[in-house]
Structure 1
Amino acid sequence: MQVVHCGRMDYAAALETQERLAAAVAAGTAPETLLLLEHPAVYTIGRGGDATHLLDPLTELRRVNRGGDITWHGPGQLVGYPIVLLGRRGRDLHQWLRLLEELLIRTLAEFALPAERRPGLTGVWCERGKIGFIGVGVRRWVSLHGFSLNVCPDLAAFNSIVPCGLPSCPVTSMAAAISPAPAPEAVAGVLGRLFPALLDERLPLVPAPPAS
């Protein structure tokens, strides 16, 4: 498992990087990888999402091959793209989603910010509202896309959408709950430290079948 801190990366470039890595991981020519980065401002929507949840029709919306509805990415929001060989880690998408939620909950706990799941929903909430977002895709049982965590973004960006397709869903950030707010780089360091051990704890890698 390698953790790569990419800094600020354009959404299209990050998607191309994910797809290239996913093909290499599936072929056994690259290690499982967690990409950690921030994007310039962009609105994306999952393959089955409702485009009417974009409240400003003049705003560009990018439809991508992941689950989930509409969300925003931008400066101050930390994004994680785990490229993981789920084909040798149980092939259980439900457990994969719960693992990503647990990763965000444990990360926030390291900054003394309690967070939780909500029954029947995907993502992570704290007292002020939704703070962690998850939308995944899978190709050849290799994971794509992943999670985002609001560290210190401009929350006004969420006023142009129905976040995750949930009406009246308050959205918050670490900066709204912690003073002084941590830098995204500090949060990325914690995520990168916690993820490999949590992955092996919850979805241990099984040996590859012998070549025939």
Structure 2
Amino acid sequence: MAAALVDLGVTDYAAAYALQLGLVEKRRSGQALGDVFLVTEHPSTFTLGRRGGRENLMVAEEFLREKNIPLVHIERGGDITFHGRGQLVIYPILHLREAGLSVTDYVHCLEEVMIRLAATCGVEAARDARNHGVWAGNKKLGSVGIAIRHGIAFHGLALNVNLDLEPFSWVNPCGLAGVSMTTLSHECGREVTVNELTRELIGHLSRIFGREFFYKDHADVIVQ
């Protein structure tokens, strides 16, 4: 079955999260005909997953409030991470059993999406057997964090393209002390944009997930 690719543009984190939950429920109840992959960027936001602890936030919450950066608690796997403009975020609303994927296979697919997108920029990215996500050398380039309800996966991946990395210094990213983050722009020595990578997405997704993708207008997936 074909899947829809929806480019939301820049979306407030809370709005994108609510949309995911609504689409999961529609998929569960049979109101949605297929899987949907949401593509977006977020304004500056920290999210704290199920394994997250405040000990990995290295600044006071008052500091974040002064910066007008929300800290959102969510049910995805993983610890604390940062989202901001210049980061490509993909949220697949995907029925794993119908897709024939185990959780491990699915995480592998998300990592493969980032590895192939990096390769289009001439950057060699790789997995780390100890930690989910993708790495350029010893620096983390992209993260994976998922949640599953009724067999339907949501949340997804975040690939650092050309965002400001300073906020990562305020946390232990993904709960990993001493980890350095990087971006595609830094690694390839030129300015890479999220729009540039989005144009490459549909081909990579089709090959990795073994299905056709089609573009769908974001207005068609707004959950009433």
TM-score between both structures, scaled by the size of structure 1: 0.90
Counting only pairs closer than 5 Å after superposition, residues 55-204 of structure 1 correspond to structure 2 as 55-58=58-61, 59=64, 60-90=70-100, 92-127=102-137, 129-200=139-210
Measured on the aligned residues, the alpha-carbon RMSD in Å equals: 1.4
Q: Which has the higher strand share?
A: 2
Q: What CA distance in whole angstroms lies between the structure 2 residues aligned with 1:190 and 1:27?
A: 32
Structure 2, unpaired ranges of 5+: 65-69, 212-224
Q: Deviations over 1:75-100 (max 9, x none)?
A: 11111100111131335111111111
Q: Deviations over 1:111-159 (max 9, x none)?
A: 1110001122100001261001000001111111000000000011101
TM-superposed deviation, 1:192: 3.2
Q: Deviations over 1:140-180 (max 9, x none)?
A: 11111000000000011101000011111010001111232
| Contact 1:46/1:69 (<8 A) preserved | yes
| Contact 1:107/1:187 (<8 A) preserved | yes
Q: What CA distance in whole angstroms lies between the structure 1 residues aligned with 2:27 and 2:203?
A: 21
| Contact 1:34/1:192 (<8 A) preserved | no
Deviating more after overlay: 80-89 vs 51-60 = 51-60
Q: What CA distance in whole angstroms lies between the structure 1 residues aligned with 2:7 and 2:82?
A: 20
Paired letter, 2:120: E
Match of 2:18 in 1: 16
CA 1:192–1:51 in 2, change beyond 3 Å: closer, same or farther?
farther
SS in structure 1 opposite 2:132?
Answer: coil
TM-score between both structures, scaled by the size of structure 2: 0.85
State percent identity of aligned pairs. 33
Q: What CA distance in whole angstroms lies between the structure 2 residues aligned with 1:147 and 1:167?
A: 20
SS in structure 2 opposite 1:44?
Answer: strand
TM-superposed deviation, 1:48: 2.1
Structure 1, unpaired ranges of 5+: 202-212
SS in structure 2 opposite 1:122?
Answer: strand
Q: What CA distance in whole angstroms lies between the structure 2 residues aligned with 1:83 and 1:129?
A: 28
Match of 2:219 in 1: none
Q: What CA distance in whole angstroms lies between the structure 1 residues aligned with 2:96 and 2:6?
A: 19
Quick check: 1:26 aligned with 2:50?
A: no
Q: What CA distance in whole angstroms lies between the structure 1 residues aligned with 2:179 and 2:42?
A: 23
